[in-house]
Amino acid sequence: MNNNEQTAKIIKDMIKSNKIPGAFIFEGDSSNFVQGGGTSFADILAKAIVCHDYGHKEKYGEACGICGSCVKSDKGIHPDIIISEPGGEGNLSFHIDKVRDIISGLYLSPNESDTKVYIIKDMQNMTPQGQNALLKSIEEPPPFAVFIITVNSGDLILETVKSRAVRFVLDSDESGKKTPPIYDELIRDILTENPDKLLIYQKLFSSGLEKNDKTEVLRFYSCLENALRDILIAKIFMNYETEEIKKLSNLYSVKKILNLSKKIHKYKTDLEYNINARLNLTSFLSSLNA
Ligand SMILES: [Zn+2]
């Protein structure tokens, strides 16, 4: 399964179980669109959340498409789907006054549905002041509010905001996104905390230090982040698809997942300024073994 198929599946499971986290982040160049263009993940999710046909949702994990609520969602006039986006083009065009608009209405009950959905588009353009103001709402949202954030790169979102949300990295290009098998093994060994194997990888990668495949190492970090997210989701929903996920869920507290995510983020950020990608990866691995 690629990232987008995996995302679609996780969202369906959430809708089926009617357990919806308080905040989502969809990240990627095409984060606003599912393949083939047209409707975005954010729109599909929002529509499913406010749809009134709970029987249909439980059975299929998606909006019914015909109830009054769905009709309004399709027309873009549902009063409980509130869209907020930058005022113009470019950096910092998403001003704090728009965030204040959100906060001022946040604690008012939904109009027609059980839930109010706030879609916040292109968060990369939001000022840090705006993000900080929004953070408070994401930290302690009323039980009837859900935030859906879209952003082209997660690196542009404050770490504190990210840690409050379930995050999905979407693929813009469906092909050629497969991770090399060695990374699959490496991720497994990292997650199961296998120090001997990690040492072997350290040696392996440090012997290839002249190579500079930044993209590949970045992809590895993204895969590791996705694996952690899947463990987090399995923990939240107590829905274990494989024995492996079940074992890992027992091994990882939420705090431990967040700490490891923070560490990965740090190494990803360092990679931007570090010419040697392999050295970055080797150093990440030795930090795990410490
Ligand atoms: Zn419906």
User: Percent of the chain scored above 90 by pLDDT?
Assistant: 28
Average pLDDT for the chain? 84
Interval 158-166 mean pLDDT: 79
Strands (E), the chain: 23-27, 81-84, 116-120, 145-151, 166-169
Report CA(50)–ligand 1 centroid distance (Å). Answer: 8
| Claim: this prediction has a pTM higher than 0.95 | no
Residues 191, 197: Cα–Cα separation, whole Å: 12
Q: pLDDT tier at 174 (50, 70, 90 boundaries)?
A: very low
Q: pLDDT tier at 272 (50, 70, 90 boundaries)?
A: confident
pLDDT at 208 over 70: no
Report CA(43)–ligand 1 centroid distance (Å). Answer: 13
Report CA(23)–ligand 1 centroid distance (Å). Answer: 21
Residue 238 is given by DSSP the state T
Describe the strand order of the beta sheet including 145-151 as a list of residue ranges: 81-84, 116-120, 145-151, 23-27, 166-169
pLDDT at 160 over 80: no
pLDDT tens-place string over residues 46-104: 999 999 999 999 999 999 999 999 999 999 999 999 999 888 877 788 889 999 999 99
**Fold type of domain 3-169:** Rossmann fold (3.40.50)
Least confident piece of the model among 75-79, 93-97, 112-116, 136-140: 136-140
Q: pLDDT tier at 192 (50, 70, 90 boundaries)?
A: confident
Interval 210-230 mean pLDDT: 81
The CATH number of domain 181-289 is 3.40.309.10: no
Report CA(40)–ligand 1 centroid distance (Å). Answer: 17
Least confident piece of the model among 125-134, 139-148, 228-237: 228-237
Report CA(64)–ligand 1 centroid distance (Å). Answer: 4
Q: Which residue has the tokens 């895969």?
A: 223
Interval 185-198 mean pLDDT: 84
Report CA(61)–ligand 1 centroid distance (Å). Answer: 11
Report CA(134)–ligand 1 centroid distance (Å). Answer: 29
- Higher-pLDDT residue of 71 and 182 is 71
Report CA(72)–ligand 1 centroid distance (Å). Answer: 9
- How deeply is 35 buried, as exposed, middle or buried, from its count of CB atoms within 10 A (0-12, 13-18, 19+)? middle
Report CA(47)–ligand 1 centroid distance (Å). Answer: 8
Q: pLDDT tier at 195 (50, 70, 90 boundaries)?
A: confident
Residues 148, 280: Cα–Cα separation, whole Å: 32
Residues 243, 102: Cα–Cα separation, whole Å: 42
Report CA(53)–ligand 1 centroid distance (Å). Answer: 5
pLDDT at 38 over 70: no
Report CA(58)–ligand 1 centroid distance (Å). Answer: 12
Residue of 216, 222, 227 lying closest to 252 (CA atoms)? 227
Kindly report the number of other CB atoms within 10 A of residue 32's CB atom. Answer: 20
The domain limits of the chain are: 3-169, 181-289
